[in-house]
Amino acid sequence: MIEFIKEMEKYAEEENIPIIERKSIDFINKLIEIQNVETVLEIGTAIGYSAIMMALANEKVKITTIEKDEKRYIEALKNIKKCGLESRINVVFQDALEVNMAGFNYDLIFIDAAKGQYIKYFDKFQYYLNEDGTIVTDNIGFHGLVGNKEQAGSKNLEKLVEKIENYIEFLKNNPDFVTKFYEVGDGLSVSIRKEK
């Protein structure tokens, strides 16, 4: 299994697929354990790496993960099958902003798709979160560029950094959730509902 994980990491690097950093997934796995998380919704599967890492580390956990890119979706299915995790990881091939999963709720929602759409994901998927659930977002630091967007080097990248900065502001000012930010990996945020 360790060999296969390394293979996925190598594939991701070669194909330029931004999979989560080891430190970040370790952090999330600890959170899953401490909070007794049983159901996870992930936005942004890529090749299934983070979903597989969560499922391997936590026997109880069931994961639904959404991916809109067909090639990655197929690669993810293949990888999940190789690990024998088909019964615990369900991959949905669709744009997360178009998905309708009314009736389902999750203990943990992990946002890790298009950086420019973070606010939209949060606004939509908060309604799929259990009462004591947690929303985790990856790449909050964006390679050290958040807060230093003049170093981005291109207008496009600068715009993206700006969007993440807006997301951070959105989280800080959110009336319903309280958020902590962690400098682990590429930066993670952890949001839970405020007490009423």
Question: Which residues contact Mg ion (rule: CB under 5 A)?
Answer: 20, 112, 138-139
Q: Which is nearer to ligand SAH, 72 or 88 (CB)?
A: 72
- Among 28, 37, 49, 177, indicate the residue that binds ligand SAH (CB under 6 A): 49
Q: Which is nearer to Mg ion, 24 or 179 (CB)?
A: 24
CB of 178 within 8 A of CB of 194?
A: yes
68 binds, among Mg ion, ligand SAH, none (CB under 5 to 8 A by kind): ligand SAH
- Among 20, 111, 164, 168, indicate the residue that binds ligand SAH (CB under 6 A): 20
Dist. CA 176–CA 132, nearest whole Å: 12
- From the list 77-85, 112-120, 127-135, 173-181, the region that binds ligand SAH by CB under 6 A is 112-120
Cβ neighbours, 10 Å, residue 181:
17
Cβ neighbours, 10 Å, residue 51:
29
86 DSSP 8-state letter: T
Dist. CA 167–CA 113, nearest whole Å: 13
Dist. CA 177–CA 111, nearest whole Å: 15
Report in angstroms how near the CB of residue 146 gets to Mg ion at its nearest. Answer: 14
User: What size, in residues, is the chain?
Assistant: 196
Report in angstroms how near the CB of residue 25 gets to ligand SAH at its nearest. Answer: 7
**Per rule CB under 6 A, is residue 44 in the interface with ligand SAH?**
yes
**Per rule CB under 6 A, is residue 112 in the interface with ligand SAH?**
yes
